[in-house]
Amino acid sequence: MRVAMIGTGYVGLVSGACFADFGHEVTCIDKDASKIERLERGEMPIFEPGLDDLVAANVRDGRLTFALDGSEAIRNADAVFIGVGTPSRRGDGHADLSYVYAAAEEIAGLIEGFTVIVTKSTVPVGTGDEIERIVRERRPDAEFAVVSNPEFLREGAAIGDFKRPDRVVIGINNMDDGVGARARTVMTEMYRPLNLNESPLLFVGRRTSELIKYAANAFLAMKITFINEMADLCEAVGADVQQVARGIGLDNRIGSKFLHAGPGYGGSCFPKDTLALVRTATDAGSPVRLVETTVEVNDARKKAMVERVRAAVDGDLAGKTVGVLGLTFKPNTDDMRDSPALDLVPALIAAGARVQAFDPEGMHEAGKLLSGVDFRDGPYDALDGADVAVIVTEWDQFRALDLDRVRTALTAPVLVDLRNVYRPEEMRARGFRYSSIGRG
């Protein structure tokens, strides 16, 4: 099938490359000329394991192309996907849909023949209705269907998630006859390679599909926040949060995923999606109080992490040097959006500390967002002469540090582990003053 993917950010580029790998003819479109130029040179604008090779293979085989002007691709497409950003709108927390609606306007003026317009971006309930209105108003003669197909890709594992999903949610109105049935046929063909055994495709109404995405992310965010609060309670009563997490996670009604205590969730999805869901629910007169509390608790938790570092250096950060390991919100990505480091590092500097930091992939993006930081070339360089080490992101290379070398680099053997990478008893045996999350 012929596919036009509007947007070459995380969602658009990964989805476009994977659809091409399924055998479809895909054109990824973006208004950013420098981004298109980089992609045509084979340079990825984001870090995602395996993406560069996947893109290169499909470009080489002629299934994947990039365009600044997507007019021809949209006119010829069987399906046009909208994969643009929907950041939180300043001031009220609603999702900013300006890019989505601009894409709808562009699509409306170009489609020829029956076309399925698919929202891959995360959008609030009712956005598909507005896209349909925009297109219909401009092109009352057009044959089209608007479909919701939210993404559930984890940064760092996105290609595997796309190709081996636990579900593919597809929202279509009136899917049993007429336009809806035609749209269902197109979407089934788009994901045909996934249907070899048991189909993961879940067809629902369009508004239901839009809400599923927000509900899923909000539930996972609540799960993270729950275990973080249990971690605080463990510290107060002398329990071990990792054993608590294992004890409850073995219950298959709960499950073990997203039960890792830490400095709070961040990234491109959970912060903005929980906030957008709160705003949608409030506007609908049906507030989601658990999600509201989750947002408040998580924001407070990220800001409170500086106190753990302060306590590790006897209550005074002024004049101290802090070696920070990890800046991105999670490993295997260069994404800095809502990373705990964005709260922790400025708070350390405001308290009078000097910060020297290293991240395997996030240094370029961090440099745009953090000022006053001495960025270093490696983990031991970041710890050289520091009074305390702080693990913020659990990159693999931070899980296997040479602890003797760490001790030598630091002025004192003090380590604050915000991801519980190491065992307290091992660290004490190695002579470290060690602080972690929820383990007393």
Q: Are residues 234 and 123 in the same domain?
A: no
Helix/strand/coil percent split, the chain, to 5:
45, 15, 40
C-beta separation of 39 from 16 below 8 A: no
Q: Are residues 185 and 310 in the same domain?
A: no
Residue 50 maps to a domain: yes
Determine the structural domain holding residue 149 and report its residue range: 2-204
* Phi, psi (deg, nearest 5) at residue 386: -80, 150
Share of the chain above pLDDT 70, in %: 100
Q: Are residues 78 and 154 in the same domain?
A: yes
Q: Are residues 198 and 324 in the same domain?
A: no
Residue 315 maps to a domain: yes
Residue 71 maps to a domain: yes
pLDDT digits (tens, 9 = 90+) for 254-288: 999 999 999 999 998 999 999 999 999 999 999 99
Alpha carbons 208 and 407: distance in angstroms, whole number: 54
Question: Which region among 90-94, 209-213, 346-350 has the lowest average model confidence (pLDDT)?
Answer: 90-94
Residue 211 maps to a domain: no
Average pLDDT of the residues in 26-49: 96
In the residue annotation, 269 being an active-site residue is answered as yes
Confidence check: pLDDT of 145 > 80: yes
* Phi, psi (deg, nearest 5) at residue 91: 105, -40
Q: Are residues 166 and 59 in the same domain?
A: yes
C-beta separation of 65 from 102 below 8 A: no
Cβ partners under 8 Å of residue 269, min gap 6: 122, 217
Query: Which single residue is written with the structure tokens 């006897």?
Result: 314
Q: Are residues 68 and 198 in the same domain?
A: yes
Provide the pLDDT confidence category of residue 90 given band limits of 50, 70 and 90: confident
Amino acid at 187: M
| pLDDT recorded at residue 436 | 97
| pLDDT recorded at residue 266 | 95
Alpha carbons 95 and 110: distance in angstroms, whole number: 26
Confidence check: pLDDT of 196 > 90: no
Alpha carbons 317 and 328: distance in angstroms, whole number: 23
Confidence check: pLDDT of 440 > 80: no
| pLDDT recorded at residue 72 | 97
CB atoms within 10 A of CB 29: 27
The whole-chain average pLDDT of the chain stands at 96
Provide the pLDDT confidence category of residue 106 given band limits of 50, 70 and 90: very high
Residue 118 maps to which CATH number? Answer: 3.40.50.720
Confidence check: pLDDT of 231 > 90: yes
What's the structural domain count of the chain? Answer: 2
pLDDT digits (tens, 9 = 90+) for 375-395: 999 999 999 999 999 999 999
Q: Are residues 246 and 327 in the same domain?
A: yes
Average pLDDT of the residues in 304-310: 97
| pLDDT recorded at residue 122 | 95
Q: Are residues 199 and 300 in the same domain?
A: no
Picking from 144, 174, 204, the residue at the C-terminal end of a domain is 204
Closest CA to 16 of 162, 114, 164: 162
| pLDDT recorded at residue 89 | 85
Q: Are residues 256 and 347 in the same domain?
A: yes
Residue 289 maps to a domain: yes
Picking from 146, 179, 204, the residue at the C-terminal end of a domain is 204
Structure-token pair, residue 324: 């920070």
| pLDDT recorded at residue 398 | 97
Q: Which of 18, 28, 234, 269 is catalytic?
A: 269
Residue 391 maps to a domain: yes
Q: Are residues 167 and 245 in the same domain?
A: no
Closest CA to 398 of 423, 385, 379, 375: 379
Q: Is the pTM of this model over 0.85?
A: yes
Q: Are residues 59 and 141 in the same domain?
A: yes
Strands of 161-200 (E only): list them. Answer: 168-171
Provide the pLDDT confidence category of residue 91 given band limits of 50, 70 and 90: confident
Residue 403 maps to a domain: yes
Picking from 204, 236, 268, the residue at the C-terminal end of a domain is 204
| pLDDT recorded at residue 92 | 81
Average pLDDT of the residues in 111-134: 97
DSSP 8-class letter at 400: T
Share of the chain above pLDDT 90, in %: 96
Residue 212 maps to a domain: no
Q: Are residues 145 and 101 in the same domain?
A: yes
